[in-house]
Amino acid sequence: MAGILHSLTNGLTITKYSDGLIFVERLNEAVRTGRIRQVPVVKSVWCSDEEWFLDPETDEIFAYCAPNPPAMPTWQRVDPLKQSGDYRLAPLSVFETGPVTVMTAHFMKMRIEILVARRLVEALTPPCHVALSSRGTEKWFKDIVSNITYRLIECYGLGDKDDIRWEVIPSAELSRKIQ
């Protein structure tokens, strides 16, 4: 099923200046009206300033690189799970550990759901000793392929700064986990 992102180039050759302008207008209008969303770039594929866009109806993501002579503009479908090599080797390793933005966390959770459905990742219940405040959650995920367990910590503060992190769970902490 061809989605909104595919249709943005209908009848256009974005390497032609006039068509490139029309394309950018279509892209901006689709974002402005909420038909598509701009999402965080997991790892650049074609250029350092590329932008990624999500079609909520098809779950496809396209990358856009504006023309930067002599480089031509780029508009290509991208699979974030494959950007760090073959994701089947270690599907959760494509996400960089450390602090993440709210939007990145949302994007990660959508992708992790797909990996769980494909049985490449197992969602785990954190042990009882994991205590977070009432404003936070901690979700654990085991990468079935690499046998590495990760956690997504999300703490949102009303007056405090949000604290959202993606981490590998240390083996010492895993050994305390009661299954």
Q: Answer whether residue 140 shows pLDDT above 90.
A: yes
Q: Answer whether residue 85 shows pLDDT above 50.
A: no
Q: Convert the pLDDT of each residue in 141-171 to its tens digit.
A: 999 888 889 999 988 766 667 788 999 988 7
How far apart CA 57 and CA 71 sit, in angstroms, is 31
- State the pLDDT at residue 87: 47
DSSP secondary structure letter of residue 120: S
User: What is the chain's length?
Assistant: 179
CB contact set of 65 (below 8 Å; sequence gap of 6+): 46, 47, 49, 50, 51, 71, 73, 74
Confidence of residue 86 (pLDDT cuts 50, 70, 90): very low
Instruction: Please state whether beta strands 148-155 and 136-143 pair in parallel, antiparallel, or not at all (unpaired).
Output: antiparallel
Would the pTM of this model clear 0.75, i.e. be above it?
no
How far apart CA 113 and CA 102 sit, in angstroms, is 17
Q: Answer whether residue 84 shows pLDDT above 90.
A: no
Higher pLDDT, 29 or 156: 29
* Of the listed ranges 30-44, 73-87, 133-147, the one predicted with least confidence: 73-87
Distances (CA, A) of 98 to 25, 95, 105, 127, 132: 35, 9, 11, 22, 18
Average pLDDT over residues 8-34: 90
Average pLDDT over residues 2-29: 88
- State the pLDDT at residue 101: 83
- State the pLDDT at residue 133: 55
